[in-house]
Amino acid sequence: MEDKIKTWLITGCSSGLGRAFAEAVLKQGYNAVITARKKDDLKELGEKYPDSSLALSLDITDETQILSVVKLAEEKFGSIDVLLNNAGYGYRGAVEEGDDADTRTLFDTMFFGTVSVIKAVLPGMRAKKTGTILNLSSIGGRFAAPGSGYYSAAKFAIEGMSDALRKEVGPLGIRVIVIEPGAFRTDFAGRSLKGTKEIIADYEETVGPRRKENDKSSGTQPGDPRKAAEAIIKVVAAKQVPFRLLLGSDAIKLTRAELESQLKELEEWTVVSVATDYDK
């Protein structure tokens, strides 16, 4: 696959994993269309790689802007070979506390924005019968912790959409990979984390410890963003790729426990489940 990869389009490159992805891709000699809501956040990186980078403003909830970015990318580099959908943010609060406007904005960004970018790059990938789409999910796309109901719902939606997408575009030579990071040392638990405005006292035992003001994990997470970026580049260059790629030892541990719990529950309730079939 390596010889087919020349240009990446990466969303959400201002900081965190997105920034690490952009830096690693450019450092390894690929072309990269790097995007963020504020183009100024990309100035230093763009100046460091003037020939192989294209820094553009992109709000992934703005379809007109998405189409413009894809057009400019194809004009400069010819095609987009890899799309890395990274843009997004954290949101915490009990389900009952969730503000309707805030949660709709979360889905507009995390899910519908991701879909809009995919739909914009697919015509070019279909035309050349090759391409790779990477959608950043989370271990929160496998299970939901208290306070992360809406965030996980958005990630579950990304994973469900990606599962169908890979089966639709696979025969066309296009690969789809879902990235599921554990906790990485970024500002995800810092400035990128939003919380509900309404606080209901009854949820202090379950949700309270995970509220933004109580979360002390920022700066202590086990995952190294640079290593994550290197791992993803290596996977994309491989001939065979996974559909889901967990990143981090914590991701492996937590997801294995979740899958084992689900299997145990399935076995315990199988008699009830199969009893709903028509009698033969």
Q: How far apart are CA 176 and CA 101, in angstroms?
A: 31
| Residue 138 token pair | 């989370």
33 strand-pairing partners: 9, 54
For the residues of 93-134, what is the DSSP string, one character each? Answer: S-GGG--HHHHHHHHIIIIIIHHHHHHHHHHHHHHHT-EEEE
Place of tokens 């405005």: 197
Q: Which of 254, 262, 194, 257 is nearest to 223 (CA)?
A: 254
Q: Known catalytic residues?
A: 137, 151, 155
- Residue 188: burial class (beta carbons within 10 Å; 0-12, 13-18, 19+): buried
- Report the phi/psi class of residue 133: left, alpha or beta, with left for phi > 0 and alpha for psi in -120 to 50: beta
